[in-house]
């Protein structure tokens, strides 16, 4: 069963999924085990503690929250963290609780593999499992109910909407609100990224009125450094960071002895990769951390590189387009070598595109290098790379939203959301339309603008011009324009950057028909 959240003026559920079934599954349970992923972050701990608080109000079951390696010290200020079992130090208690449970609730993980030392016990149990998650491609076959939306900001936001609709707002007390608000803040960088839907702001606004102090939560999130942790961050940035400006890449390798020298735990590295991403010349960063029996990778990207795909191609990792993780069982040196080889291959390809055409928001795709000795052949191949990348990106964007779009000549796409009864736009009609434009990565470019164009004159762009010719006066529509059908290499010299794929939300206000002039 699959549920997807959409937000316009309200939040509702589409694509099946019975709210009553979730309510009944929770209501019938006598012993519920709740868990999240290993190396828990704010969204994982926030999801877990919020779910504990919510289920305490709506269920009489015995509730046992646990984490594969416990709660990080910098999140112990959250409610109910004192009762979370640690899979490593409380192994027997965890196994016993899982064996006795008649319902498992997992949060903020796409697969049971991410539950670390708890994974085998969780797989062995035959009781129903529920998953709340916002990662790409969750392992639905491992769960009886999957509550998932990869476009939503965080699992905490997902839980806010899902439990509000299932159990009512009254099930969310101040403790739950504090945990949910924390998870939203940490997974959005305090609302600086992952904000493609306005639902995140609606959720934050409602949570802020539930007896919490948002300013205090923000202070708790940010002011968590010990002296050792601060010194280690300085050491890592000055001694362990390798920057490759020509490839827009950065790699940081952390060995066990580095952490031992400064007496820091792996949980204290949270946020380190985000410091690397502050470098203006960097698009992709990889943090590689050595552990006792494995090597962990954290990957981040600003716009060019799909790190979810990169993590999957490296070590069967995954996550999101702009943030992902992976685990390597190779020795550290071999892991680093593989990562650098892979980054060199993919990012060199991107740089080739940038040299020729200054690619905009284009994800990395698996393509063959350009062949041919002539500049013309190389230019043709480079543009094929860009076109293929943009097509893949648009397909994924449309698929995530379940949109039914018509493909126009040239590759632009159009979906009419409201059919107008006025005259249809025809060649050389004067068209007044209101529109909003954003880059396909969610960045707002222009909004609430009104313009007048002459249809069929390829103004202001070919793709938009073709889209207008399919609409009537009064129509509303969404159009997606590949860069070649928008402003191409040059951009518009203002807010539309080079090679930017655009999403246009428009309304046709007035169509002034062309007058038939008689020639004497």
pLDDT in tens, 490-512: 777 777 877 889 999 999 999 99
Residue 361 pLDDT > 50: no
What's the pLDDT score for residue 17? 56
Query: Sorting pLDDT into bands at 50, 70 and 90, what band is 381?
Result: low
Determine if the pTM surpasses 0.85.
Answer: no
Share of the chain above pLDDT 70, in %: 86
Q: Which two tokens mark 363?
A: 């994800």
Burial 127-151 (b: 16+ CB within 10 A, else e): bbbbbbbbbbebbeebbbbbbbbbb
Per-residue pLDDT of 119-129, as tens digits, reads: 999 999 999 99
Tokens of 329: 């069982």
Task: For domain 227-357, give the CATH number.
Answer: 3.10.310.30
pLDDT, tens digit (0-9, with 9 covering 90-100), for 49-108: 999 999 999 999 999 999 999 998 889 999 999 999 999 999 999 999 999 999 999 999
Q: Are 33 and 105 in contact (CB under 8 A)?
A: yes
Query: Into which CATH architecture does domain 2-222 fall?
Result: Alpha-Beta Complex (3.90)
Task: Out of 255-259, 357-361, 482-486, 514-518, pick the least confident.
Answer: 357-361
Residue 353's DSSP bridge partners are: none
Closest to 479 in 3D by CA, of 501, 510, 446, 495: 501
In 162-315, the DSSP E strands lie at 241-244, 249-254, 284-290, 295-301
- Whether 50 and 176 have beta carbons less than 8 Å apart is answered as yes
Q: Which two tokens stand for residue 297?
A: 């990778």
Q: What is the pLDDT of residue 363?
A: 40
Predicted local distance difference test score (pLDDT) of residue 375: 52
3-state helix, strand, coil in the chain (%, to 5): 40, 25, 35
Give pLDDT tens digits for 109-154. 988 988 999 999 999 999 999 999 988 778 888 999 888 887 788 9
Residue 49 confidence (pLDDT): 98
Nearest to 473 by CA among 520, 437, 420, 397: 420
- Spans of all domains in the chain: 2-222, 227-357, 406-512
The pLDDT assigned to 445 comes to: 83
Whole-number Å distance between alpha carbons of 354 and 363 = 13
Give the span between the Cα atoms of 113 and 15, in whole angstroms: 27
Looking at residue 283, its pLDDT comes to 85
pLDDT band for position 380 (cuts 50, 70, 90) = low
> Helices (DSSP H) in 17-108: which residue ranges?
19-28, 42-58, 91-100
pLDDT of residue 296 exceeding 70: yes
pLDDT at 195 over 70: no
pLDDT score of 301 more than 80: yes
pLDDT digits (tens, 9 = 90+) for 213-248: 999 998 888 877 889 999 999 999 988 998 887 778
User: In CATH terms, are 227-357 and 406-512 the same topology?
Assistant: no
Mean pLDDT of the chain: 83
Domain 406-512 class, CATH top level: alpha beta
Task: Tell me 198's DSSP state.
Answer: T
Q: What is the CA radius of gyration of the chain?
A: 25
- Rounded mean pLDDT of 193-210? 84
Percent above pLDDT 90 for the chain: 41
Instruction: Quote the pLDDT of residue 475.
Output: 94
Question: What integer is the mean pLDDT of 344-367?
Answer: 43
* 304-320 as b/e: b if 16+ CB within 10 A: bbbbbbbbbebbebbbb
How many Å apart are CA 232 and CA 229, to the nearest integer?
5
Q: Give dist(CA 160, CA 71) in Å, integer.
A: 21
Q: Is the pLDDT of residue 304 over 80?
A: no
pLDDT at 360 (0 to 100): 40
Q: What is the pLDDT of residue 93?
A: 96
Confidence band of 320 (pLDDT split at 50, 70, 90)? confident
Residue 312 pLDDT grade (very low, low, confident, very high; cuts 50, 70, 90): confident
């Amino acid at each position: 069963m699959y549920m997807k959240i959409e937000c316009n003026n309200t939040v509702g559920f589409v694509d099946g999924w019975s709210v009553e079934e979730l309510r009944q599954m929770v209501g019938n349970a006598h012993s519920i085990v709740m868990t999240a992923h290993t190396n828990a972050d704010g969204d994982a701990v926030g999801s877990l503690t919020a779910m504990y608080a919510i289920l305490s109000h709506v269920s009489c079951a015995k509730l046992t929250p646990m984490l594969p390696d416990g709660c990080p010290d910098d999140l112990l200020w959250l409610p109910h963290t004192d009762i979370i079992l640690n899979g490593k130090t409380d192994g027997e208690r965890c196994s016993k609780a899982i064996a006795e449970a008649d319902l498992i609730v997992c949060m903020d993980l796409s697969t049971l593999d991410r539950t670390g030392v708890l994974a085998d016990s969780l797989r062995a149990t035959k009781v129903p499992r529920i998953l709340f998650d916002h990662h790409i491609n969750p392992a639905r076959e491992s769960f009886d109910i999957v509550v998932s939306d990869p476009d939503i900001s965080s699992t905490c936001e997902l839980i806010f909407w899902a439990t509000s609709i299932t159990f009512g707002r009254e099930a969310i007390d101040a403790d739950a609100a504090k945990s949910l608000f924390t998870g939203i803040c940490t997974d959005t960088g305090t609302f600086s990224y992952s904000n493609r839907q306005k639902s995140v702001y609606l959720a934050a606004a409602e949570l802020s009125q539930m007896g919490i102090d948002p300013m205090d939560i923000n202070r708790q999130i940010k002011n968590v450094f010990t002296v050792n942790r601060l010194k280690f961050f300085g050491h890592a940035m000055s001694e362990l960071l390798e920057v490759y400006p020509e490839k827009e890449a950065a790699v940081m390798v952390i060995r066990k002895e580095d952490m031992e020298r400064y007496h820091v735990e792996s949980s204290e590295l949270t946020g380190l990769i985000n410091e690397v991403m502050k470098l203006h010349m960097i698009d992709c960063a990889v943090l590689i951390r050595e552990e006792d029996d494995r090597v962990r990778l954290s990957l981040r990207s600003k716009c060019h590189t799909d790190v979810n795909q990169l993590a999957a191609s490296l070590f069967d990792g995954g996550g999101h387009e702009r943030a992902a993780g992976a685990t390597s069982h190779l020795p550290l040196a071999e892991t680093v070598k593989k990562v650098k080889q892979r980054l060199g291959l993919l990012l060199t390809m991107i740089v080739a595109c940038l040299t020729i055409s200054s690619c905009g928001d284009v994800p990395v795709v698996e393509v063959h290098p350009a062949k041919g000795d002539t500049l013309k052949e190389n230019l043709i191949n480079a543009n094929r790379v860009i076109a293929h990348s943009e097509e893949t990106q648009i397909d994924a964007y449309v698929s995530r939203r379940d949109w039914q779009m018509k493909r126009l000549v040239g590759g632009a796409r159009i979906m009419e959301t409201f059919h107008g009864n006025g005259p249809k736009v025809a060649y050389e009609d004067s068209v007044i339309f209101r529109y909003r434009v954003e880059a396909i990565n969610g960045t707002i470019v222009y909004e609430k603008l009104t313009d007048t164009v002459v249809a069929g004159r390829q103004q202001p762009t070919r793709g938009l011009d073709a889209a207008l010719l399919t609409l009537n006066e009064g129509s509303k529509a969404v159009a997606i324009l590949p860069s070649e059908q928008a402003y191409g290499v040059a951009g518009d010299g203002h807010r539309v950057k080079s090679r930017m794929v655009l999403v246009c939300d428009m309304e046709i206000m007035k169509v002034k028909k062309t007058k038939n002039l008689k020639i004497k």
